[in-house]
Amino acid sequence: MNSEVEAAGVFTVKRIRTSRKGALGFILDGFLIVLSFLMLSPFLWIVSTSLRLPKDSFSLPPAIFPTAFNFSNYAQVFQQVPFTAFIANSLKVSLIIVVGHIFISSMAAFAFSRISFPGRNMIFIVFLAGLMIPGQVTIIPQFIFISKLHLVDTHWALILPALINPLGIFLIRQMMMTISSTYDEAAYMDGASRMWVFLKVTLPMVFPAVAVTSVMTFISNWNDFFRPLIFLNTFEKMTLPVGMTVLNGTFGSGNLSAILAGVALSLVVPLLFYIFGQKYLVDGITAGGLKM
């Protein structure tokens, strides 16, 4: 009899704990849903306003959803600016930077993590100190250097300075530090060269870090407004963030719905890159903080 009472008591306690966990999980899920909606609300407002009539853009109180879907705003974007050329310029600059980043950052990370040379750690610390210097501080000497190379008003003025990515080197190097050196030693014993070890052994193992830094590099250069504004003068060579300012019109008199239609279109490409690389985001960032 006592055992039955004890069993019933244990079952009741477990049921209460389960119900508490269920209630807590329900509250947490509700909170996350509300938080997600708040974070997505600016994007929802961009898409909603891009489909409104121009006269409804400043209506009070503002409506969340458009009363009439006006897709002509998207056509107006291509009519007012060479939007396709801006997309092509941004893709050209961003993709070349990403490809260069993959090779340069991964090779630098391999040197800092796998090759012993005098002052390696000190050089790495000094190298990382560059992360604390804002890009606006170095833009004047950078412009002078680019002008002496006669690269002003070319896309190479944007590409060459962006090929060195200290943050990418740091993240890839940190993931390489977590890989056992026995893999390298086994390859060297089989007669492999250092470049073969880098390409065939180490680089595939740090692909999550390379992928996440590539996504970060692409998005940062795709959204870069400051450097193209400084280095580019020809309208046809401008990248998307600078070229989109034409939609704003003189003294900000442009069609807000058309402006946000252009913004919505400009989000498609980085969104696709982010969707592709998001599964590596946690692995890459977590690996970056495992070992120093």
User: What number is the average pLDDT over the span 155-171?
Assistant: 89
Q: Are residues 150 and 27 in the same domain?
A: no
Q: Are residues 44 and 90 in the same domain?
A: no
177-186 as b/e, with b when 16 or more CB fall inside 10 Å?
bebeeeebee
Query: Which residue's entry shows tokens 């890459």?
Result: 284
Task: Tell me what pLDDT residue 3 has.
Answer: 52
249: CATH: 1.10.3720.10
Confidence of residue 99 (pLDDT cuts 50, 70, 90): very high
Confidence of residue 97 (pLDDT cuts 50, 70, 90): very high
Higher pLDDT pick, 121 / 247: 121
- Integer Cα distance of 218 and 97 in angstroms: 8
Q: Are residues 229 and 269 in the same domain?
A: yes
Q: Are residues 9 and 86 in the same domain?
A: no
* In a domain? residue 63: no
Task: Tell me what pLDDT residue 91 has.
Answer: 92
How does the average pLDDT of the chain come out, rounded? 80
* In a domain? residue 24: yes
Per residue in 186-222, pLDDT (tens digit) is: 888 888 888 888 888 888 888 888 888 888 888 889 9
- Integer Cα distance of 138 and 232 in angstroms: 17
Higher pLDDT pick, 255 / 5: 255
Is the pLDDT assigned to residue 25 strictly greater than 50? Answer: yes
Q: Are residues 84 and 46 in the same domain?
A: no
Q: Are residues 103 and 207 in the same domain?
A: yes
* In a domain? residue 57: no
Is the pLDDT assigned to residue 141 strictly greater than 60? Answer: yes
Residue 65: φ, ψ to 5°: -110, 145
Encoded tokens for 96 = 């070349």
The closest alpha carbon to 201, from 221, 183, 185, 219, belongs to 183
Confidence of residue 281 (pLDDT cuts 50, 70, 90): low
Q: Are residues 148 and 282 in the same domain?
A: yes
Task: Tell me what pLDDT residue 231 has.
Answer: 92
* In a domain? residue 59: no
Cβ count within 10 A of residue 47: 15
Confidence of residue 283 (pLDDT cuts 50, 70, 90): low
Give the count of domains, the chain.
Answer: 2
* In a domain? residue 186: yes
Q: Are residues 46 and 105 in the same domain?
A: no
- The CA dihedral of 96, 98, 100, 102, to the nearest 10 degrees, is -150
Confidence of residue 45 (pLDDT cuts 50, 70, 90): confident
The boundaries of the domain holding residue 281 are 77-288
What type of residue sits at position 286?
T
* In a domain? residue 55: no
Residues with Cβ within 8 Å of residue 255, at least 6 apart in sequence? 54, 57, 73, 76, 247, 249
Q: Are residues 25 and 85 in the same domain?
A: no
Task: Tell me what pLDDT residue 95 has.
Answer: 93
Q: Are residues 153 and 211 in the same domain?
A: yes
% of the chain residues with pLDDT over 90: 13
* In a domain? residue 62: no
Is the pLDDT assigned to residue 13 strictly greater than 70? Answer: no
Q: Are residues 40 and 86 in the same domain?
A: no
Is the pLDDT assigned to residue 11 strictly greater than 60? Answer: no
Q: Are residues 86 and 210 in the same domain?
A: yes
User: What number is the average pLDDT over the span 59-70?
Assistant: 70
* In a domain? residue 58: no
Q: What is the DSSP letter of 62?
A: P
Per residue in 216-263, pLDDT (tens digit) is: 888 889 989 999 999 998 888 899 888 888 777 655 566 777 888 888
Tell me the pTM: 0.79
The last residue of a domain, from among 12, 31, 50: 50
Is the pLDDT assigned to residue 10 strictly greater than 70? Answer: no
User: What number is the average pLDDT over the span 165-177?
Assistant: 87
- Integer Cα distance of 55 and 248 in angstroms: 16
